[in-house]
């Protein structure tokens, strides 16, 4: 029973909203900042929550903008550092925050969808060699049309 409570607490902690709004995202590493500008979908302000060394999962956040004329449908996420990454949303039920797996996330033409604490987020699970406590994590958003959107997310709290 105690283990179940600890696991549930860790899951909710990883997805909980930050106590104060972030001042700004963490500084982007040189390789992330050097991504070429395109007219296609763009991932910005990506970051992964820093967690204690024994943690088995963490959460990732980003903004994705769709400048195109058609819907952009995200169907999955991959990273060489994690065995599984899921799209999740956080909803309030009876005053309790609960995570819900999202099969897809749709970004309408001209819109931006924000993955942020307390809302949509990436749930990074099954780390291959532990969750990095610093540095960056390479990830790919998988789209329903077979395309992949590659991006790099620094580990740490925004503004910290």
Q: Where are the domains of the chain?
A: 2-154
**pTM (predicted TM-score):** 0.76
Is residue 7 over pLDDT 50? no
> What per-residue confidence (pLDDT) applies to 69?
96
Is residue 45 over pLDDT 60? yes
Is residue 1 over pLDDT 60? no
> What per-residue confidence (pLDDT) applies to 91?
86
Under 8 Å between Cβ of 72 and 64? yes
Please, what is the average pLDDT of the chain? Answer: 83
DSSP per-residue letters across 37-60: P-SS-EEEEEEE----TT-SEEEE
Kindly report, residue by residue over 78-105, the tens digit of the pLDDT: 999 999 999 999 888 899 989 999 999 9
Report the alpha-carbon angle 38-137-125, nearest 5.
120
Under 8 Å between Cβ of 47 and 61? yes
Structure-derived torsion over alpha carbons of residues 38, 118, 86, 106, reported in degrees to the nearest 10: -50
DSSP per-residue letters across 76-140: EEEBTTEEEEEEEEEEEETTEEEEEE-S-EEE-TT-EEEE-TTSSEEEEEEESS---SSSEEEEE
| Residue scoring higher pLDDT (143 or 8) | 143
> What average pLDDT does the segment 15-22 reach?
47
- Residue 16 DSSP SS3: coil
Backbone Cα Rg of the chain: 16
Compute the distance between CA of residue 30 and CA of residue 25 in angstroms, rounded to an integer: 15
Question: CATH number of 2-154: 1.20.120.50, 2.60.40.1890, 1.10.1040.10, 3.90.226.10?
Answer: 2.60.40.1890
pLDDT band for position 12 (50/70/90)? very low
Tokens encoding 25:
């995202």
pLDDT band for position 156 (50/70/90)? very high
Kindly report, residue by residue over 98-135, the tens digit of the pLDDT: 999 999 999 999 999 999 999 999 999 999 999 999 99
Residue that has been written with the tokens 């400048």 in this structure: 67
Which residues lie closer than 8 Å to 43 by C-beta, 6 or more apart?
62, 63, 64, 141, 149, 151
> What average pLDDT does the segment 18-37 reach?
44
């Amino acid at each position: 029973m105690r283990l179940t409570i600890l696991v549930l607490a860790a899951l909710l902690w990883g997805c909980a909203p930050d106590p104060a709004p972030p001042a700004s995202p963490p500084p982007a590493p040189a390789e992330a900042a050097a991504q070429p500008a395109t007219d296609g979908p763009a991932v910005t302000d990506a970051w992964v929550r820093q967690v204690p060394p024994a943690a088995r999962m963490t959460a990732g956040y980003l903004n994705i903008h769709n400048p195109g004329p058609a819907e952009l449908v995200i169907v999955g996420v991959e990273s060489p550092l994690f065995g599984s990454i899921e799209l999740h949303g956080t909803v309030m039920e009876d005053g309790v925050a609960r995570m819900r797996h999202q099969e897809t996330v749709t970004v309408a033409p001209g819109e931006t969808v924000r993955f942020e604490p307390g809302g949509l987020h990436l749930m990074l699970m099954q780390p291959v060699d532990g969750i990095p406590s610093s540095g960056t994590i390479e990830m790919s958003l998988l789209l329903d049309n077979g395309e992949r959107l590659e991006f790099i997310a620094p580990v740490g709290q925004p503004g910290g």
